[in-house]
Amino acid sequence: MSLPMSRKSVLIGRSISSLIHSSIGIVVMALTGLLIGWRIRDGVINGVLGFVLLLLFGFSMIWFGIWVGSLMRSVEAVNGFMFTFMFPLTFVANTFAPTEEMPTWLRVIAEWNPVSALTAACRDLWGNAPPPAANAQLPLQHPVTSSIIWSVIFTAVFAPLAVAAFRRRSQD
C-alpha cells in the first residue's frame, strides 16, 4: 500500500529530473566549447543569464515532451513524433545558417521560430552575436524577451495539457 499522491507531483518531479539531466548536457557542451575556443565575452552575469534562459526554454519543452509522452502508446511513437517535430524546428532556424540568405517566406518562418529567438538571445547574452538585420522579424530584434515569452507560453499551455493527459492515461 502507498500513500496518496497528487498526479501533478509525479509530473513535476519528472520535469525537474529532466531539467537536471538537461543541465548536465549543457555543462558538457559548454565545457567542450570552451576547450575548442568558444568564449563568453559579455561578463559573468550575462553568461549565467544565457544558461538560465536555455534551462527555462528547456523546461518548457520538457512539458511538451511529457504531454506527447502521455498521449502516445509506445516509446517508438514518441520518438518518431518528437523527431518529426523537432527536426524542422531546429533546422528551420538561425541555429546553423543565417536567416538573411533564406527565401523571404522561409526567412519569416525561421525568424519567428522560438529556436531562432533562443539562439539569438544566447549569442547576444554571451557577447557572440552580430546585430540583427534591420529588417529582421520582432523575435530577433528582442531575442531575450521573445525567448522568455515563448518559454512562459509553452509552459502555460503544455503543463496543464500534460497533467490532463497523464490523469486520463493513469486512469486507464
Q: What is the pLDDT of residues 138-151, one digit of tens each?
A: 999 999 999 999 99
CB neighbour class for 41 (10 Å; exposed up to 12, middle 13-18, buried from 19): exposed
pLDDT tens by residue, 3-13: 677 777 888 88
Residue 2 banded pLDDT, cuts 50, 70, 90: low
Give me the pLDDT at residue 122, please. Answer: 96
Give me the pLDDT at residue 138, please. Answer: 95
Alpha helix positions (H), the chain = 7-35, 44-71, 75-91, 104-112, 114-125, 138-141, 143-171
User: At residue 115, does pLDDT exceed 70?
Assistant: yes
Please give the grid coordinates belonging to residue 62.
Answer: 520538457
Residue 112 banded pLDDT, cuts 50, 70, 90: very high
pLDDT tens by residue, 57-94: 999 999 999 999 999 989 999 999 999 989 989 999 99
Place of cell 521560430: 113
Residue 172 banded pLDDT, cuts 50, 70, 90: low
CA–CA separation, 82 and 65 (whole Å): 8
CA–CA separation, 106 and 109 (whole Å): 5
CA–CA separation, 25 and 44 (whole Å): 20
User: What is the rounded average pLDDT of the residues 29-42?
Assistant: 94
Mean pLDDT computed over every residue of the chain: 92
CA–CA separation, 60 and 50 (whole Å): 16
Nearest to 5 by CA among 122, 172, 166: 166
